[in-house]
Amino acid sequence: ISSPAGPGANAPGLIHGADGSVWLSWLEPKGTDVTALRAAKFDAAAGQWSPVREIAAGRDWFVNWADTPMLAVQPGGRLNAVWFVSNSSAAGNHGDHAHHGAGYQAWFSQSDDDGVSWSEPARLTTESDNVEFVSLQPLAGGDLLTVWLDGRAKHTDAAAMRLYGRILDGEGPDQLIDDSVCDCCPTTLTAFPDGSALVAYRARREGEVRDIYTARFREGRWENPRLLNNDDWRIHGCPVNGPRLDSVGGTVAAAWFTAADDEPRVLASLSPDAGARFILPQRVDLGNPFGRVDTVLLRDGSRLVIWIEAGGGQEAGIYLRRISPADEIGPPVLLAATSQARASGFPRLALVKDYDATPAQLLLAYTEDREPSAVHTRLLTLPTLSALAGRKPCLPCDEDDANAVRGYAMKGVVSQVQPGRELIWVQLEEIPGVMRATTLACRAEPALFEQLTPGQPVLGRIEKRGRDWWLFNVKLLGAPTP
């Protein structure tokens, strides 16, 4: 797809917003020694990008191939943008908020009119002068969660970067998540329907072990960090290779790079319970990966992973693999040729639409390392569900398959059936990341009222449609209990 970014563009960011929109952001030269942060919205119906919106511009910005600006869309449609300004001259660009010391600071701005106008820039946090590798994540309740690598401890005897977080525009101090993390690996966030969220990052532990950790944000507080997988990668320096997360309901997909035991590889794993545990990771690379991963989780449980392969026995470039709901790894697909140079940056992947009667589609954004650099965008269309299932083309079958994985899987016991009120009450077991164990009033198709009686154990799916929960795809588990 023709990219909206001009000559010299770099640092693409690609997000699927809480409102279903897809936005591309990037940095671009603007005149002499000025850098601009710009964005465009994808029009899926037309298959093209909207007119370009300029978010902000400045002369003293910190422009880096790895630490790139961030964009997020809150459920109400508010756009949020973050970029970086060098500490040495930030005051000259943003008024009287002078700060000193090495490193750089994150600034943010917001738009309530689809990116046409933006608020006066403000510091992401006023508690630290060294803020790097920011992630933004809208929460189900409407707030915007942000995490970052923080160098405030480097002004004391401590040597390690730390991981902090806060609710943007929220009250209260910054919250410490981890007091020893890798200095320059990007962070990643994903959110769950119950209002909680999960961060993944590269920690720094004794003996210079730099493996991937996660931490859950729940009810306004961060839980203790957990090791995602014991790679035991010992490296004296930062690999500049962070993890990526995506989630559907309480299911989480994770992808990351490691070179433990001097064997570079790209790994992918899945958590069925909002990050409480991850399954044994699978290797998806071709033998000579450079990392720089991204991942997308689809509603049917299949995962897509992209990474940069450095060549060797394969053509160098950005590759994609699909992992099926049964954890079967599909063949590698070369999406675009690229180099392993730093200027190639991090490719990004975002969902445009999930499967329904038609195939799922995604957008890819990446930087071409040339003079001047260029940001490219490509629309990826997956095979039909019939093709993936190995059957002849069948549109009704594809629609049925897509509907079968809508909403959230549940297990419970029917407590009341009230045909007059068109409600079925179900005592649900906990659905991790979605809701705690509770009794839920659900609407359903008329036939289900005749099928269910109090005390009946069931499996099924629930889905929020407007203001009501609906119960469907129900299977009976034995006879009703008294």
Question: Is residue 363 very low, low, confident or very high in pLDDT (cuts 50, 70, 90)?
Answer: very high
Count of all residues that appear for the chain in the document: 482
Mean per-residue pLDDT, 88-108: 54
Distance of CA 277 to the CA centre of its chain: 18
Q: What is the pLDDT of residue 288?
A: 94
Mean per-residue pLDDT, 366-374: 93
**pLDDT over 50 at 4, yes or no:** yes
- Provide the β-strand partners of residue 362: 351, 380
Angle at 27 between CA 146 and CA 199, to 5 degrees: 20
Average pLDDT, the chain: 93
**% of the chain residues with pLDDT over 70:** 96
Question: Is residue 19 very low, low, confident or very high in pLDDT (cuts 50, 70, 90)?
Answer: confident
Q: What is the pLDDT of residue 416?
A: 95
Q: What is the pLDDT of residue 312?
A: 73
Reading the block at residue 52, the tokens are 């370009």
For the beta carbon of residue 208, count every other beta carbon within 10 angstroms.
12
Question: Is residue 160 very low, low, confident or very high in pLDDT (cuts 50, 70, 90)?
Answer: confident
Mean per-residue pLDDT, 117-134: 95
CA dist 287 and 186 (Å) reads: 23
**pLDDT over 50 at 142, yes or no:** yes
Q: What is the pLDDT of residue 32?
A: 86
Distance of CA 463 to the CA centre of its chain: 22
CA dist 256 and 292 (Å) reads: 8
Residue 163 half-sphere exposure, CB side, CA atoms within 13 Å? 28
Q: What is the pLDDT of residue 396?
A: 93
pTM for this prediction: 0.94
Q: What is the pLDDT of residue 88?
A: 66
**pLDDT over 50 at 110, yes or no:** yes
CA dist 271 and 428 (Å) reads: 20
pLDDT tens digits along 204-247 = 999 999 999 999 999 999 999 999 999 999 999 999 999 999 99
**% of the chain residues with pLDDT over 90:** 87
**pLDDT over 70 at 469, yes or no:** yes
**pLDDT over 90 at 340, yes or no:** no
419: exposed, middle or buried (Cβ count in 10 Å: 0-12, 13-18, 19+): exposed
Q: What is the pLDDT of residue 18?
A: 80
Question: Is residue 92 very low, low, confident or very high in pLDDT (cuts 50, 70, 90)?
Answer: very low
**pLDDT over 50 at 59, yes or no:** yes
Q: What is the pLDDT of residue 99?
A: 32
Question: Is residue 101 very low, low, confident or very high in pLDDT (cuts 50, 70, 90)?
Answer: very low
pLDDT tens digits along 245-270 = 999 999 999 999 999 999 999 999 99
Mean per-residue pLDDT, 37-54: 96
